[in-house]
Structures are given as C-alpha cells and as structure tokens.
Amino acid sequence: MPFSTASKGAWRALVLLAAILAAPVLSKAEPVQQSHISLELISQGEAVAGTPVHVALREKMDPDWHTYWISAEVGEPTDIKWTLPPGWTAGPINWPAPTQLPLAGFMNYGYLNEVVLPVAITAPKSARAGDTAELKAHVDYQVCADQCIPGQADLAITLTVAGAAPKVDPAGSAAIAAALARVPPPADFPVSLTTNGATLKLSAAGGGLKGLDVSKAYFYFYEDAGLSYPAPQAIERGPDGLTLTLTPAANRKPGPVAGVLSLGDRTFEISAKEGPPVPGAAGAGTLPPYMIQHESAEAPKEAGGPLNLVLKLLAALAGGLILNLMPCVFPVLSMKAAQLAGHKHDHAAARRQGLAFLAGCLVTFLALAGALLAARAAGAAVGWGFQLQSPPVVAALSLLMLLVALDLSGVFEIGLSVQGAGQDLASRSGLIGAFFTGALAVVVAAPCTAPLMGPALAYALGQPPVTALAVFAALGLGFALPFTLLAFAPPLLSLIPKPGAWMNIFKTVLAFPMYGAAVWLAWVFSGQAGHLAMGVLLIAGLITAFGAWLFGQGQRQFTPVRRWVLQLMLPLALIASALLLAPVAKTAAAAPTAETSQTGTIPHEVWSADKVAALRAEGRVVFVDFTADWCITCKVNEKASLSSASMARAFADNNAAYLVADWTSRDDAITKALAEHGRASVPLYLVYGPTGEPQVLPQMLTESIVRSALERAAAKN
C-alpha cells in the first residue's frame, strides 16, 4: 500500500530523528550547584587529533556574588586540576580581564555574577575519529559577597574525536568565544615604570593605545608586583597615551611589574621595566582615578547616610565603654586606681588628671589607627592589635610593665612616672604621667575587642581616613570616659580615705597586677620567638631591674656625683637590654605549631580554609577559634568555656572538629579570613554545619552558647 504524502512526511521525520540520535553526540555536562554558585564544563565542540579545542569552566554566581582573578588583595583564584586520558594535554586558564571589587577597605580583582574560563585541550595525534575521552576537572574556588565561602567540585565532560568536519556546540562555542575575546592580548606599545618619590609612574604610549579614551584607565597588576591594591591610580593623559600613578607596598622589591592595562572596553597585557617615562605618555591634563561602581562589590550599604555614621560613632563609643570591662584591661586598672588615690582631696588636680588621661587615650587610639590605616594602604594585611604581633614591641612592653611595677613597689621613684601614682603626685600635677597612663592602657588593652567594637572596627577600615579616624576617636573616648567622669565627680572621690600611710601599701599592692602583665607579655613573646628568646628576655628583665634598683639608690644619695652615676645606670641597663634582645627579636618567628594539639580536654587542629572545606565535605560540624596569645579575652573564653570535660563530650556528640586560627604572630591568611567576616581583630568564633552559612558566636562565650551552636549546626546535617 503506497504511503500518503502525510505518511511519507512522518516517515522522513522518524528517519531524520533516528539519524540524529545515532550520530555522535556533543557532550553536555550537567552543572553542579553549590552554595551561591553553579559550576559546569562546556566545550566548543568535537576535538580534532593534534589540534587544540577549548573546554571552559563556567561559574554562575548568585546576584552580587563573585569569584577571583589570578591576583587579589583578599581571596584565592579558581584553580583547575585536570585528569585526562593518556596523550591528552591541558593548557593554562585563559583569564578574561577582571573587574574591580572593593570591599571593606580592600581592593580585589575578580568576576561578578558569571565568568567563563577557557582552557585549550589537545587530543594526541594518534587519536582516531569516533574515539571518546572523558575529561575530569577538580575545581577549587572561593565565592564571595560580604562573606566568603571556599568550595570545591569534581566535574567531567566527554569529548568525541571528529573526522574531517568537527561538529560545533553552538552555545558552548559562543560562550567560549566571548570569553576569549575578553582575554587581554599582548600590548603592541612601549611601557615603562619610573620611580617618582614615594610613588611609581607607569607610562605607556603609541601603537594600539594611540587615540583611545584613557578616562577609564586602570592597571590590574599580578600578585608579585609589590603594589598597593586599594591605593587610587591617578591618570595623566598624553598626546599618544597615558601615565598612571601607582603606590608601592611596604615590602616591594625593585623590579618590573606585569598585569593588565584596562581602558574599559579595551585591555592589554603589559610588562613594564624600570626606566625613563615613555615619550607622549603625559602632558595633556590629569583625570581622577577610575573606580568602577558596583552596587554589590562595595561594602553593604546601610540606610541613613549621615545618620548611619552617627549610629556607628555611637556603637564605637559604647564599644569603648564596654572595653573597660574586658579582661584585657585588668592589668592597667591599678594605674588608674593609683592616680585617683593620689588626688582624692584635690578636685582641680583630679580633673586635670582625668583630662590628661583622656588625651592620652585619644592620641594613642588615633596614632594606632593611623599606623593601621597606613599599613593597609601600603598593602600589608594587618588588623587591630597588630602592635602585639611584633616581637620587639612585645618585649619592650614587657620590660616597661616591669619598670611600672618596680616603681609602684618603691624600688625607684619617678616624679612624672608612667603610672603617675603615690605621694609625689599628690602634690604635683602629674599630667605627663596621666597622659602616658592613658597611652599605655590603650596599647595593652586595645588588641582585644569588646562587643560592638568588632562591627565598628570593620566599618572604620572600609571608610575614608577622616571617617575612619572619627570612629577610632569615638572608641578612645568611650574607653577613657569612665575614669574621666570619675575624676569630675567629687562625691565619688570623697569616698576615698585621706592621703596617708595606707597609700604606700595600696600602691605596693597595685604593683602585682603590673608584674602579672610583664609575665603575660613575656609568655606571649615566648610563643612568638621561642624558648631561647624567652631566656634572653628574662636576662634583659634582670638587667633592667638591677638598673632600676641602682637608679633608686641614686635617688637616696646626697652626693651629686654618686647620684648622677647611679641614676645613669637605668638608661645604661635599658640600652644593654635592647642590644641583648635586638638579634632574637629581629629574627623571631612563631614557634612551630603541631598539626594537632590539645586545648584542655578537646583535641584541636590548625585552621586553614582548605581544612574547613574538607571537614564540611565529610559531613562534620566545624568550630573555628580565631585567637591570639596576647588576647586575654580569648584565653578567658578558652579556660571558662572551651576546656571542660562536658564541652569535650558536646564536641564528640555532635561530630564537631575544633580548629584554631592562631593570630599571635602576623598571619596574612588569618587577617584575610577575619576581614571576610567583617572583623579586624580577635576573638572570632565560627560554627559551620556541613552546609549553609556559619554561625558567628558572641565574643564572650559560655558553655551553653557553644553547645547550642554545635547542636544547631549538627541538626542541619
């Protein structure tokens, strides 16, 4: 029976469909969906023996989320490790030009929302048409918004070796072609790097640069360039090109710089050696630095404008007030108490003391803040409390605390002493002593953060210098306010007994917290520099104490020559101590940390972002303790809430791992991790479940807080 026209059409359609199904199929790998990101492998189409074909990793992030380019101030670039059949080879990632991603005072380079990363894959010449090959890729990445999530994924795609006419995957080929078009080509024009005072001038002119709009010029430099990420890059136009002003990082070594010069819609890969400026690169006017405005890439915007700043200042003020209740401040309470006792019945002198103490706190807070902001602008990854990450500073503070204690003990007397206490100050203003009491209190106490201080510090570090310093000034004001107000409160001062013999006893008793502070700082130094350096510090302390005793003996001599000679012994002792400590302090490094150790009864391991990811992949709950030996609040939490047998059972019952991120000495990875969670200091406690976002615990812990967090994280499994 002959087919009808309709039947013939249906038959032809079935034959065509069968032919399509029987033909070699272009592989379509399924995306892997993870937290805030989807990853998949795509290809241009079929492979050809001996000829590269591009396969790409496509990362699709949630709105406002990003991954990183090969260079960034904070964050790690995506890494692909290939497992290929014998004879197949993979080239490096072809990185499309990045975009600026400013966040909380840092400047990162990366990709918002979506990026395609092409890699050239080459089949062996011996491959035959019709062969198939499974390409496997292990991907490590970080996906970030106002927080960062490290992750990994295992992907695969199958390629077919084509014959004469390789089939093309239209969607994959178009996406890869668009990505390759964004990969910067090598520059066809000369570039040069010229030192100009504290800055560097990157000049370029001629070739394909001539006649282009340079108003959006920006240099995305590679990581080893030694430049400051957040520093603005001023633009100077030239008749044939441009000159960018770059800021070197503190640790920069002389040499060439390489990276990507972007003009917005045009990019070039450049490498600039040191030399004279390129002719035609300047002289046609200046332009402001170009900053891409990403709503999502900036620090999260908060409503209120000026009102928001006022709220942050109030939070900083409250944080400074609460700091007086933190364990970090206990060693310096004796200095405050002794000052008030010395001026109990002289209200005018007490008020002057209060104001001088306030000035010392404010000046020191602002000085530390200025040093911190300058260090970060120079490219150093430092945070609040950075002064106690320096072994020389810790050693010097330990000896200073020893001197303060010896002074309080009556070994020697300095009329305008650091702590400004005792009978001498009952009859003198002691304003210098009160000022330096405030300064020393800030240096020792500020490294630990009180509640409300953490968000205020994170906010300040992401603002212009004037705003940042205003926040730090509010912190200093809050810290000094209780003592200053007490100095202006005669009814409260009247509760203190009249000056008499009791003051000498009181002053001697108050020396012992200072001895404790000296011992604590020596212990911190030992953790940074090792036991041998600790021994050297003890010898230096003995020399300093002997010099102080000789100084005190000189104060009791009426013969001018003997008095002068004996009092010279203290500065000589300090010089000798400094010379003794200089070699070990200069070369100090953190003592080696074992992979596993013991805190109380809870075993713990050394923190790393990879370790967190690996444990979560195993389905474990992860508790991360960001701590430092110089953070007394951290140590109080460890003793009170993280070392009991019941806590060890809670960790075991919830299959929880305990990771310690020790920030005693400078560690850029920990500094970056703190910044990713909106912090600039320790302590910080995070509890991760196998999936989802981490819980951020309060800065003062209790066992019930930790136990509840572990149980909540385990319940998500």
Q: Which structure tokens are listed for 436?
A: 């330096």
**pLDDT at 136 (0 to 100):** 93
Q: Is the CB of residue 270 less than 8 Å from the CB of residue 207?
A: no
SS3 content of the chain, % helix, strand, coil (to 5): 45, 25, 35
Given a contact cutoff of 8 angstroms between Cβ atoms, the answer to whether 117 and 93 are in contact is yes
The helices-and-strands tally (H runs, E runs) of the chain is 20, 25
Q: How far apart are CA 290 and CA 609, in angstroms?
A: 33
Average pLDDT for the chain: 77
Other C-beta atoms lying within 10 Å of the C-beta of residue 108: 22
Instruction: Give the Cβ contact number of residue 440 at 10 Å.
Output: 22
Distance between CA 496 and CA 504 in Å, rounded?
14
Of 542, 345, 535, 336, nearest in space to 440 by CA = 336
Q: Which of 213-217, 394-398, 708-712 has the lowest mean pLDDT?
A: 394-398
Distance from chain centroid for Cα 227: 17
C-alpha dist (Å) from residue 224 to 253, 413, 420: 10, 53, 49
Side chain identity at residue 643, one-letter code: S
- For residue 534, how many C-alpha atoms fall within 13 Å in the half-sphere facing its CB? 15
Residue 397 has pLDDT above 50, yes or no: yes
Angle at 473 between CA 471 and CA 478, to 5 degrees: 95
310 pLDDT above the threshold of 90: no
pLDDT score for 170: 87
- DSSP letter for 689, please: -
- Here the tokens at position 455 are 């968000």
**Sign, CA torsion 495/496/499/505:** positive
pLDDT band at 630 (very low <50, low <70, confident <90, very high): low
Pairing assessment for the beta strands 684-688 and 621-627 based on DSSP bridges = antiparallel
For 341-372, the pLDDT digits (tens) are 555 556 677 788 788 888 888 888 888 777 76
Q: Give 17's pLDDT tier (boundaries 50, 70, 90).
A: very low
The token pair that represents 167 in the structure block: 């089939």
Does residue 448 contact residue 291 with C-beta atoms inside 8 Å?
Answer: no
Asked if residues 365 and 475 have their Cβ atoms less than 8 Å apart, the reply is: yes
Can you tell me whether residue 365 is helix, strand or coil? helix
Omega cis (within 30) before 683: yes
Q: Is the pTM of this model over 0.75?
A: no
Both tokens of residue 564?
A: 């002068």
Residue 333 in this model has a pLDDT that exceeds 70: no
The span from the CA of 154 to the CA of 120, in Å, is 19
pLDDT of residue 328: 58
Band the pLDDT of 454: cuts 50, 70, 90.
Answer: low
CB neighbour class for 8 (10 Å; exposed up to 12, middle 13-18, buried from 19)? exposed
Where is 526: in which H helix or E strand? helix 501-529
Q: Of residues 177 and 489, which shows the higher confidence score? A: 177
